[in-house]
């Protein structure tokens, strides 16, 4: 099994991963015995800089006693012109069991999955998806609110370029939340008809009665391409702060996938304030990634087991047939 | 050598001919067409009962990739693929390396396509509109015309400057040379890899908006009206473009346009996410676009059908979607696709289908093709099509080097079985050999 997107997961699969993550967290915090995936080698293939996601995956792998190999792209064969396909094929034959991959192109992990035998886990691809971030967010919401069903969740900011938004909106809607996308027209996809969410261009309308307010990171370079007129104007219209949060429910939680542009998407007091669950998101990231490793390898193990059983079965049949054929010929 | 194609449904739009009859080819030329012909002394008779006998098809938009990109396609493999599709005349685009911007390269194309290994069909080169296809300096168009180009285009590298295009069109008008344009405002499409719409929003891929095509369609039509230069608009994909072209024609602009089979059949919603075999430019649009394109094809606002056959090597497509080159192969699937999804569905009569795929394109670039009239083409150009045969398109069994097609595995109804360019240049495996009488001509299987 690969984990390439939330959109392609069933609600049951999502719930299973979340339940497993919750269980693993309890075991870890109580000092219990965690699943042992020793002997498995996971390759960290990051084509974009990402300290927090990479470290989170590494931590998750180590807690499960997996071996971790990281590939720096600078100075690698890829920097020398090797294709992604060839890199993946090489890693496959070098004994890597699973790939955690981040890539600047949407859908790149799909290509890797075509050529890599073991599980490929998408750690963020272009503007497409960031499934494990959404799973971490979901676990955090459940811990705070008890459930996701029926919650009003506002995802605020640069939706167009956000893989976090594109994973979260599917996950949250599959678990029956009311998802709202909030942001300026220039940072919103132009055609949102297939996205399971309502669209709001006004912040106060968008976060009205919200149980969860999820701010997205704004890439400052967007300003240079004319998508926003100025950082100050963006902050004045879309910043999550004490004033704007008055529109949301009093017990709402504030989330951010990090790293935060303090004073832009969130003001300082909100980032560190009573509504913020940002550090919890980071912590939960490790447990959902552990759950994902266990899930994908469990699937792989069951496939291996089935293959083994089939092989044994066919060998037994051969053995049974051989003497019979011998009898016939005699 | 006398060849008779007997008892087929003769579809020749150049004569408004739709009758059951026979076609006689003597010494590589059509000598008789009609219900009653002289079959005596025939060396070979092909029984074409329940088959169509049509003028060889004409494709105004083919990428043969040579020189420079022979790992994608060569003139030899490209012409073989064309013959297998029923095409007897194809126009090759100039975006090779180097681009077709000087007479020596036009000579090269003509020589190579006439070689014995090639498909035996005619290649009519399209010259570069600007030098090196740089979009800035008009090429030496008079010399290119003397060398044999039939039109000029910077396809794939659309001229962004209106002033430069206007100058080029003035020159071409004076030379009586049609200009063909790929319509794309690059400032709106930078980084885009599929249609901008609901699907691109889901997949997180930067979209290519319709307006990028429509703005250039409108601009180019106005420049055609302004300069009087015949303008052929390549691969129309958007319903808005159709409306603009209709208006331009009504204003008296000498404008024609084409549509590709895939834009009449496939939508962005059908694409397999991130499968680069679905990546093309213009991109697949929506069902609404398809419906309006089909109406325009039926009504005559769209003049002809071209394939935009764009082969790429497998390794070039085995990359992330955003990094893959645009384009799909089309020569060998065009007839099946158009029959299955356009003609059999009643959008075009058989005669109109052949008009759009043979007679009309020949008229647009003034080619000696697209007719069964005796001695009107350099040699007999004929296709024999079975409109009812059902088959599965297997891209791995095609002559083209390019295997990049989203149609692989698609069940189609209708196929070219024989192609004649003078003599037989293609015979399909589905051709029933018992239909051949009195000898067996040599042909490629």
Pairing relation of β-strands B231-233 and B44-47? unpaired
Pick from B201, B204, B315: CB nearest A194: B201
* Contact residues, chain B, for A189 at CB < 8 Å: 200-201
Contact B62, B80 (CB under 8 A): no
Interchain pair B318, A83: CB under 8 A: yes
Interchain pair B318, A195: CB under 8 A: no
The SS3 call for residue B178 is coil
Write down the pLDDT at residue A322. Answer: 45
Q: How far is B358 from B361, CA to CA, in rounded Å?
A: 6
The alpha carbon of residue B187 is apart from the nearest alpha carbon of chain A, in Å, by 12
State the CB neighbour count (10 A cutoff) for residue A65. Answer: 13
Both tokens of residue B170?
A: 């003035």
> Is the Cβ of A253 closer than 8 Å to some Cβ of chain B?
no
Interchain pair A111, B274: CB under 8 A: yes
Q: What ipTM score was computed for the predicted complex, to two decimals?
A: 0.90
**Cross-strand partners of A61:** none
HEC sequence for B297-355: HHHCCCCEECCCECCCCHHHHCCCHHHCCCCCCCCCCHHHHHHHHHHCCCCCCHHHHHH
Among the listed residues A54, A63, A103, A130, the single catalytic one is A130
Pick from A7, A106, A195: CB nearest B322: A106
Pairing relation of β-strands B52-55 and A152-156? unpaired
What is the CB-side half-sphere exposure of residue A47 using CA atoms within 13 A?
Answer: 22
Interchain pair A126, B205: CB under 8 A: yes
Both tokens of residue B73?
A: 């396609």
* Contact residues, chain B, for A190 at CB < 8 Å: 196-197, 201, 207, 209
Chain B contacts in chain A segment 123-152 (CB below 8 A): 125-129
The alpha carbon of residue A159 is apart from the nearest alpha carbon of chain B, in Å, by 10
Interchain pair A126, B204: CB under 8 A: yes
The alpha carbon of residue A63 is apart from the nearest alpha carbon of chain B, in Å, by 32
Both tokens of residue A88?
A: 């993946």
Interchain pair B204, A127: CB under 8 A: yes
From residue B176, give the alpha-carbon distance in Å to each of B150, B304, B314: 10, 21, 40
Interchain pair A126, B315: CB under 8 A: no
- Residues in chain B whose Cβ is within 8 Å of chain A: 196-207, 209, 273-274, 315, 318-323
Contact B375, B33 (CB under 8 A): no
Nearest residue in chain B measured CA to CA from A194: B198
Residue of B187, B198, B204 to mutate for A, most A C-beta atoms under 10 A: B204
Q: What is the pLDDT tens value at each position of chain A, 330 positions in all?
A: 999 999 999 999 999 999 999 999 999 999 999 999 999 999 999 998 888 999 999 999 999 999 999 987 765 667 677 899 999 999 999 999 999 999 999 999 999 999 998 999 999 999 999 999 999 999 999 999 999 999 999 999 999 999 999 999 999 999 999 999 999 999 999 999 999 999 999 999 999 999 999 999 998 877 778 899 999 999 999 999 999 999 999 999 999 999 999 999 999 999 999 999 999 999 999 999 999 999 999 876 655 544 444 444 555 454 444 444 433 333
Pick from A111, A125, A190: CB nearest B319: A111
Interchain pair A128, B209: CB under 8 A: no
Interchain pair B204, A128: CB under 8 A: yes
> Is the Cβ of A102 closer than 8 Å to some Cβ of chain B?
no
> Is the Cβ of A7 closer than 8 Å to some Cβ of chain B?
yes
Pairing relation of β-strands B57-62 and B29-34? unpaired
Write down the pLDDT at residue B72. Answer: 98
The alpha carbon of residue A108 is apart from the nearest alpha carbon of chain B, in Å, by 5
Nearest residue in chain B measured CA to CA from A197: B202
Among the listed residues A51, A80, A190, A328, the single catalytic one is A80
Q: What share of chain A is helix, strand, coil (3-state, %, to 5)?
A: 50, 15, 35
Alpha helices in chain A (DSSP H): 11-29, 51-63, 84-93, 108-115, 131-145, 163-174, 203-206, 231-238, 268-271, 278-329
Contact A95, A118 (CB under 8 A): no
What is the CB-side half-sphere exposure of residue A83 using CA atoms within 13 A?
Answer: 15
The predicted model scores a pTM of 0.92
Write down the pLDDT at residue B84. Answer: 98
DSSP secondary structure letters along B30-83 = EEEEESS---TT-SEEEE-TTSEEEEPEEEEEE---TTT-TTT--HHHHHHHHH
Among the listed residues B12, B303, B308, B428, the single catalytic one is B308
* Contact residues, chain B, for A193 at CB < 8 Å: 198, 201
Among the listed residues A2, A40, A53, A63, the single catalytic one is A53
> Is the Cβ of A107 closer than 8 Å to some Cβ of chain B?
yes
Q: What is the pLDDT tens value at each position of chain B, 445 positions in all?
A: 999 999 999 999 999 999 999 999 999 999 999 999 999 889 999 999 999 999 999 999 999 999 999 999 999 999 999 999 999 999 999 999 999 999 999 999 999 999 999 999 999 999 999 999 999 999 999 999 999 999 999 999 999 999 999 999 999 999 999 999 999 999 999 999 999 999 999 999 999 999 999 999 999 999 999 999 999 999 999 999 999 999 999 999 999 999 999 999 999 999 999 999 999 999 999 999 999 999 999 999 999 999 999 999 999 999 999 999 999 999 999 999 999 999 999 999 999 999 999 999 999 999 999 999 999 999 999 999 999 999 999 999 999 999 999 999 999 999 999 999 999 999 999 999 999 987 554 444 4
Interchain pair A190, B201: CB under 8 A: yes
* Contact residues, chain B, for A125 at CB < 8 Å: 204
Nearest residue in chain B measured CA to CA from A130: B204
Locus of tokens 């496959």 = A92
Write down the pLDDT at residue A251. Answer: 97
Residue of A8, A107, A158, A171 to mutate for B, most B C-beta atoms under 10 A: A107
Q: Which residues of B344-371 are buried (b: 16+ CB within 10 A; e: fewer)?
A: beebbebbbbbbbbbbbbbbbbebebbb
Q: Which residues of A148-180 are buried (b: 16+ CB within 10 A; e: fewer)?
A: beebbbbbbbbbbbbbbbbbbbbbbbbbebbbb
Contact B126, B94 (CB under 8 A): yes
Both tokens of residue A324?
A: 């019979």
Residue of B197, B201, B211, B318 to mutate for A, most A C-beta atoms under 10 A: B201
CB pairs under 8 A between A and B: 72
Contact A112, A101 (CB under 8 A): yes
CA B146 distance to own-chain centroid: 24
Interchain pair A106, B321: CB under 8 A: yes
Write down the pLDDT at residue A50. Answer: 87
User: Is A52 noted as a catalytic residue in this protein?
Assistant: yes
Interchain pair B201, A189: CB under 8 A: yes
Contact B195, B270 (CB under 8 A): no
């Amino acid at each position: 099994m690969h984990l390439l997107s939330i959109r392609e997961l069933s609600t049951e699969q999502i719930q299973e991963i979340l339940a497993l993550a919750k269980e693993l967290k309890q075991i870890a915090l109580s000092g219990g015995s965690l699943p042992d995936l020793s002997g498995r080698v996971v390759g960290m293939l990051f084509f974009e800089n990402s300290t927090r996601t990479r470290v989170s995956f590494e931590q998750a792998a180590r807690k499960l006693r997996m071996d971790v190999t990281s590939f720096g792209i600078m100075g690698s064969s890829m920097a020398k012109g090797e294709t992604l396909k060839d890199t993946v094929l090489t890693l496959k034959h070098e004994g890597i069991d699973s790939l955690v991959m981040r890539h600047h192109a949407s859908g790149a992990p799909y290509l890797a999955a075509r050529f890599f035998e073991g599980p490929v886990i998408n750690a963020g691809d272009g503007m497409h998806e960031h499934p494990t971030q959404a799973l971490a967010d979901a676990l955090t919401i459940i811990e705070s609110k008890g459930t996701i069903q029926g919650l009003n969740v506002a995802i605020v900011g640069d939706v167009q370029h956000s893989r976090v938004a594109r994973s979260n909106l599917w996950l949250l809607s599959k678990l029956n939340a009311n998802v709202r996308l909030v942001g300026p027209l220039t940072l919103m996809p132009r055609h949102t008809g297939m996205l399971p969410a309502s669209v709001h261009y006004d912040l106060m309308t968008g976060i009205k009665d919200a149980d969860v307010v999820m701010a997205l990171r704004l890439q400052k370079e967007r300003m240079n391409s004319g998508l926003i007129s100025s950082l100050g104007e963006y902050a004045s219209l879309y910043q999550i702060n004490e004033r704007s949060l008055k529109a949301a429910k009093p017990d709402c939680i504030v989330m951010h996938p990090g790293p935060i542009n303090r004073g832009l998407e969130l003001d300082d007091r909100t980032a560190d304030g009573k509504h913020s669950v940002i550090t919890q998101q980071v912590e939960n990231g490790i447990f959902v990634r552990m759950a994902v490793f266990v899930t994908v390898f469990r699937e792989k193990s069951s496939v291996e087991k089935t293959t083994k059983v089939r092989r044994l079965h066919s060998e037994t049949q051969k053995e049974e047939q051989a003497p019979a054929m011998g009898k016939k010929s005699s | 050598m006398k060849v008779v194609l007997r008892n087929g449904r003769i579809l020749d739009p150049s004569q408004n001919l739709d009758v059951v009859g026979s076609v006689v080819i003597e010494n590589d030329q059509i000598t008789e067409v009609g219900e009653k012909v002289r079959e005596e002394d025939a060396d070979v008779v092909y029984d074409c009962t329940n088959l169509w006998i049509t003028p060889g098809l004409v494709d105004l938009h083919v990428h043969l990739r040579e020189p420079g990109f022979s790992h994608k396609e060569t003139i030899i493999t490209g012409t073989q693929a064309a013959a297998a599709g029923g095409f007897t005349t194809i126009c090759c685009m100039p975006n090779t390396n180097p681009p077709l911007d000087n007479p020596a390269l036009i000579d090269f194309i003509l020589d190579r396509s006439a070689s014995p290994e090639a498909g035996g069909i005619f290649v009519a080169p399209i010259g570069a509109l600007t030098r090196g296809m740089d979009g800035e300096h008009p090429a030496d168009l008079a010399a290119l015309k003397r060398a044999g180009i039939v039109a000029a285009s910077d396809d794939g590298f659309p001229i962004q400057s209106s002033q430069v295009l206007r100058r080029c069109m003035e020159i071409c008008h004076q030379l009586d040379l049609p200009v063909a344009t790929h319509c794309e405002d690059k400032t709106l499409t930078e980084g885009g890899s599929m249609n901008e719409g609901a699907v691109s929003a889901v997949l997180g891929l930067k979209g290519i908006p319709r307006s990028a095509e429509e703005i250039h369609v409108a601009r180019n039509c106005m420049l055609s009206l302004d300069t009087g230069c015949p303008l052929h608009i390549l691969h129309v994909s958007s319903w808005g473009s159709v409306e603009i072209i209709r208006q331009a024609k009504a204003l008296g602009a000498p404008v024609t346009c084409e549509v590709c089979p895939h834009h009449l059949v496939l939508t962005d919603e059908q694409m397999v996410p991130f499968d680069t075999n679905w990546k093309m430019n213009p991109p697949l649009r929506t069902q609404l676009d398809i419906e309006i394109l089909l109406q325009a094809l039926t009504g005559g606002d769209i003049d002809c059908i071209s394939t935009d056959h764009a082969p790429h090597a497998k390794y070039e497509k085995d990359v992330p979607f955003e990094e893959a080159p645009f384009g799909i192969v089309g020569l060998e699937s065009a007839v099946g696709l158009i029959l299955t999804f356009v003609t059999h569905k009643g959008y075009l009569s058989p005669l109109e289908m052949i008009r759009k795929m043979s007679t009309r394109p020949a008229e647009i670039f003034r080619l000696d093709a697209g007719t069964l009239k005796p001695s009107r083409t350099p040699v007999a150009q004929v296709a024999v099509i079975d409109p009812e045969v059902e088959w599965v398109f297997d891209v791995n069994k095609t002559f083209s080097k390019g295997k990049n097609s989203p149609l692989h595995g698609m069940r189609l109804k209708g196929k070219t079985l024989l192609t004649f360019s003078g003599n037989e240049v293609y015979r399909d495996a589905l051709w029933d050999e018992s239909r051949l009488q009195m000898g067996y001509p040599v042909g490629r299987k």
